[in-house]
Amino acid sequence: MSDTNLLLKRLQAFEFLRGLDPDVLLQLAESSTWKVFAPDAVVFWEGDVESSLFYLQYGSLKIVKSSQDGRAQVLRFISAGEVFNEVGVLAKKPNPATAIALEESGIWLIPRQTLEAVILAHPQMALQIIENMADKIINLVTLAADLSLKTVEARFSKLLLDQPEGDVIERRRWMNQTELSAHLGTVPDVLSRVIRELTKAGLIEMDKHQIRILDRDELIKRAMLQDK
């Protein structure tokens, strides 16, 4: 799973690396470090200054922001194929949140020194990375608005509608009500009640392996979405 050639193929598919010479991509691949994290292992802590760009080859992560009183908000889940930690690489600032493996996860660490050299030679790459960061900022602003303005039912409905699988959502082993509640800014008991209500209304079905959307139009209304 840690084959450099495999990483090279992945790099060739990245939008922000498109157009770079094969030799440049090979340089990035050969300078990268491979690490495997066990379930519940911390990839980096909030406050750490991490000088590598991360590429998640397989597995799943969660990005968590914690308060002084111990409460935690899951900011987002990271799936295989995603790049993260642009803040540490470009801004050279401490990480604003903690990254935790939800299952065994294989990650490539692309060092800042090599990345900076490539960016200096190919400025368009920096613009693509900044665009990627901007998308994540927009998602965080949306999350903040949802937590403030929408009910748990609306937030959960929107979460289901946003899944790329469509109307049949496969539940990963870690996708339990505790993790989903943390992401939605609520507690498992409240989420359980919402799931029961949506199930009773005939909008979804949920078991250990899947969540099925049965009435997308009505779920859109429950999510308080427009022009979805």
Give the Cα-Cα-Cα angle 10, 127, 227 (nearest 5 degrees).
Answer: 85
The count of structural domains within the chain is 2
Reported as a single tens digit per residue, the pLDDT across 3-53 is 778 888 888 777 667 667 788 888 888 899 999 999 999 999 998 888 888
Residue 137 lies in a domain: no
Residues 19 and 95 in one domain: yes
Q: Residue 169 belongs to a domain with what CATH number?
A: 1.10.10.10
Residues 173 and 84 in one domain: no
Residue 105 lies in a domain: yes
Residues 127 and 192 in one domain: no
Reported as a single tens digit per residue, the pLDDT across 177-204 is 888 898 888 889 999 999 999 999 999 9
Reported as a single tens digit per residue, the pLDDT across 197-228 is 999 999 999 998 899 999 999 999 999 875 44
Mean pLDDT computed over 60-70: 86
Contact of 85 with 44, CB cutoff 8 Å:
yes
Determine the structural domain holding residue 182 and report its residue range: 150-222
Which position has the token pair 């990035």? Answer: 28
**Could you tell me which of 45, 147, 63, 54 has the C-alpha nearest to residue 102?**
63
Residues 103 and 60 in one domain: yes
Indicate the pLDDT class of residue 70, thresholds 50, 70 and 90.
confident
Residues 74 and 177 in one domain: no
